[in-house]
Structures are given as C-alpha cells and as structure tokens.
C-alpha cells in the first residue's frame, strides 16, 4: 500500500514539474503555442470548429497542453527510473 501511495505522489510531482517546465522553458512554450495554432487551423479547415467558437474555451490549446505535459511527465518518470537503476536502487 505504501509503495502505491508513493507512486501516485511521484506521478503527481512529475505532472506538476511538467507544467512548470512548459511555463518556464521558452522553446517548449513556443512549441505549445505553435502546435495549438496548427491544431486550431486543422480543426477549422475540416469545419470541426465553427463560427460559434468561444475563445474562453480553447480546446486546441487545452488538448496540446495535456499532450505535452503528459509526454514531459512520462520522460521525467523514465529518466528517474533509469537513474535509480544506474545508482543501484
């Protein structure tokens, strides 16, 4: 039970760190903005977003932020796992 709680807390820490990385590191932030614009244009061209689109609810930006945060959190978890294996724990 203790190991499961530690894994859940570590996962939450990775997600928080990933959000921080997205906000602070400019190239990742720029990639998020560029990919959000690209996804918006793609959805607009295929008429999945219409003229009733509300800018307060920005699905393309939210989707891309979730994807990028999950990828960064996964990379952080893999990196920690590799470091722990090299250290010998």
Number of C-beta neighbours around residue 74 at 10 A: 13
DSSP letter, residue 74:
H
Tell me the per-residue pLDDT of 55-78, one tens digit each, with 9 for 90 and over.
667 788 888 999 999 999 999 999
* DSSP three-state, residue 1: coil
Number of C-beta neighbours around residue 67 at 10 A: 13
Q: Give the span between the Cα atoms of 37 and 60, in whole angstroms.
A: 7
Q: Where are the domains of the chain?
A: 2-87
Distances, alpha carbon 22 to alpha carbons 28, 52, 66, 84, in Å:
6, 29, 11, 25
Tell me the per-residue pLDDT of 6-16, one tens digit each, with 9 for 90 and over.
999 999 999 99
pLDDT band at 89 (very low <50, low <70, confident <90, very high): low
Q: Give the span between the Cα atoms of 47 and 68, in whole angstroms.
A: 25
pLDDT band at 81 (very low <50, low <70, confident <90, very high): very high
């Amino acid at each position: 039970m203790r190991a499961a709680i530690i894994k859940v807390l570590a996962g939450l820490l990775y997600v928080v760190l990933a959000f921080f990385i997205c906000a602070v590191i400019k190239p990742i932030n720029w990639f998020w903005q560029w990919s959000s614009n690209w996804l918006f244009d793609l959805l607009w061209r295929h008429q999945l977003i219409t003229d009733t689109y509300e800018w307060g609810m920005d699905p393309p930006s939210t989707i891309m932020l979730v994807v990028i945060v999950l990828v960064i959190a996964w990379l952080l978890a893999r990196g920690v796992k590799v470091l722990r294996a090299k250290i010998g724990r």
